[in-house]
């Protein structure tokens, strides 16, 4: 998967098409990602001793990784990502439009 946790992505299909958000979690086995503020669902929480009344909370559900594309904030648009080996011999991701390396997002 070329999308990693902390990347900024744009949704390109589905109900939330056009929304931009940060990736909170990635699941390579199922090819799904959880994007902040996208694909919200309501979940009921049973009453507990700490919360005796229970609650209804909104959480993000996973969406398929093929429905999102990397978003470059400097270029204000979507870009394709490639892999290459840099001068130090380390495999890195890079922007295919500009050729610049993509710095790892803070986790």
Structural domains in the chain, CATH included, are: 8-74 (2.30.30.30)
User: Is residue 107 scored above 60 in pLDDT?
Assistant: no
Q: Are 101 and 91 in contact (CB under 8 A)?
A: no
**What pLDDT does residue 104 have?**
77
0.75 cut: is pTM over it? Answer: yes
CA distance between the termini of the chain: 17
Q: From CA 97, how far away is CA 60, in angstroms rounded?
A: 31
pLDDT tens-digit map of 45-94: 999 999 899 999 999 999 999 999 999 888 888 999 999 998 888 999 99
Q: Tens of pLDDT along 6-20?
A: 999 999 999 999 999
Q: Which residues contact 7 (CB under 8 A, 6 or more apart)?
A: 22, 23, 70, 105
């Amino acid at each position: 998967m070329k999308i990693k946790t902390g990347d900024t992505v744009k949704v390109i299909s589905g109900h939330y098409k056009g929304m931009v958000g940060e990736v909170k979690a990635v699941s390579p086995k199922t090819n799904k990602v959880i994007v902040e503020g996208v694909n919200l669902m309501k979940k009921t929480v049973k009453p507990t001793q700490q919360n005796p009344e229970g609650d209804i909370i909104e959480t993000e559900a996973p969406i398929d990784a093929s429905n999102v594309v990397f978003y470059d904030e400097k270029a204000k648009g979507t870009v394709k990502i490639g892999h290459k080996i840099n001068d130090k011999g380390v495999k890195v991701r890079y922007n295919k439009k500009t050729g610049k390396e993509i710095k790892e997002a803070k986790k």
